[in-house]
Amino acid sequence: MYKLPPRNLIYQDVLNQILTLIKNGEWIAGDRIPTETELSKIFQVSRNSIREALKILEHLKIISSKAGSGTHVLEESFQNIQMLELVDTLRQKSTYESLMDTRLIIEPELAYRAALKANEKDIKKLENIIIVSINQINDEEYFTPTVGFSFHMELAKIADNEIIWKFLESITLELLSLRKVIMNKHNKEDLLKELDEHKEIFGFIKSNNPEQAKIAMYNHLKKAQNHLTDYEN
């Protein structure tokens, strides 16, 4: 026997329909949309279901409801629908390959910038992160697949762009949630190799050599990619 497809929930249906109305420009930024009671008549569902859909749209900052004055489409609705699509893409297209490729686009440039901008305090902090990593790897009591994470993130912080920093954090944490990354770091030897590459990048940052830092970062990420490919073959 085949399973029936799960029945659509009403609030999700309403949500999608309203979203489509706004996307299609039938309800435009600034417009006041029908009242909850009117919507419940239009869609032939209860006011509760309407409200659940509206509360979601409100949280997405696409609409705004106020007692007395009704519900309006926000001026920023277009941008926030874009955000929604960005999140959808991020969820659907996140594979090991695509995420590593994304890092490959961003991180070499961040290394370049870090080599230009790093001050003494930044250098100290990076140095400390490397020392902690060494200890973590030698202290084999626990397994540490996230051992290199803080080095990459600190480097992004030095590059001094909060948007890219947060974006890279999402990308990298998503990557860590995939099993494949852990395959890449299942023995001490591999972890130490990775650490050596971090040391090399750090050296170029410390000596203010942006071009070399960038190349070293590119090669570092490429190796991780190739290393995994080896395993799979």
> Site residues (CB under 8 A) for its own copies?
11, 15, 48, 51-52, 55-56, 59, 61, 76, 78-80, 82-83, 85-87, 89-91, 93-94, 98-99, 101-102, 105-106, 108-110, 113, 159, 161-164, 166-167, 169-171, 173-174, 177
Considering the complex, state which of residue 29 and residue 130 has its C-beta at the smaller distance from its own copies: 29
Residue 184 Cα to chain centre, angstroms: 21
Contact criterion met (CB below 8 Å) for 61 and 26 = no
- Cα 57 to Cα 135, 174, 220: the distances in Å are 48, 26, 42
Considering the complex, state which of residue 35 and residue 136 has its C-beta at the smaller distance from DNA: 35
Q: Show Cβ contacts of residue 204 under 8 Å, excluding neighbours closer than 6 positions.
A: 111, 115, 210, 212, 213, 216
Size of residue set near DNA by CB under 7 A:
24
Residues 11-40 that bind DNA (CB under 7 A): 11, 35-37, 40
Could you give the CA distance from residue 115 to residue 213 in angstroms, rounded to a whole number? Answer: 7
- Choose which of 1, 2, 24, 67 interacts with DNA (CB under 7 A): 67
Contact criterion met (CB below 8 Å) for 51 and 36 = yes
Q: Is 118 exposed, middle or buried (0-12, 13-18, 19+ CB in 10 A)?
A: buried
CB of 222 to DNA, least distance (A): 45
- Choose which of 23, 29, 47, 117 interacts with DNA (CB under 7 A): 47
Indicate whether 5 belongs to the interface with DNA (CB under 7 A): no
Look at residues 110, 215, 211 and name the one whose alpha carbon lies nearest to residue 167: 110
Residue 203 binding: pick among DNA, its own copies, none (C-beta 5-8 Å cut-off by kind): none
CB of 118 to its own copies, least distance (A): 16
- Choose which of 10, 60, 104, 116 interacts with DNA (CB under 7 A): 10
CB of 118 to DNA, least distance (A): 48
Could you give the CA distance from residue 200 to residue 194 in angstroms, rounded to a whole number? Answer: 10
Q: Tell me which residues touch DNA (CB under 7 A).
A: 6-7, 9-11, 35-37, 40, 44-49, 51, 54, 65-71
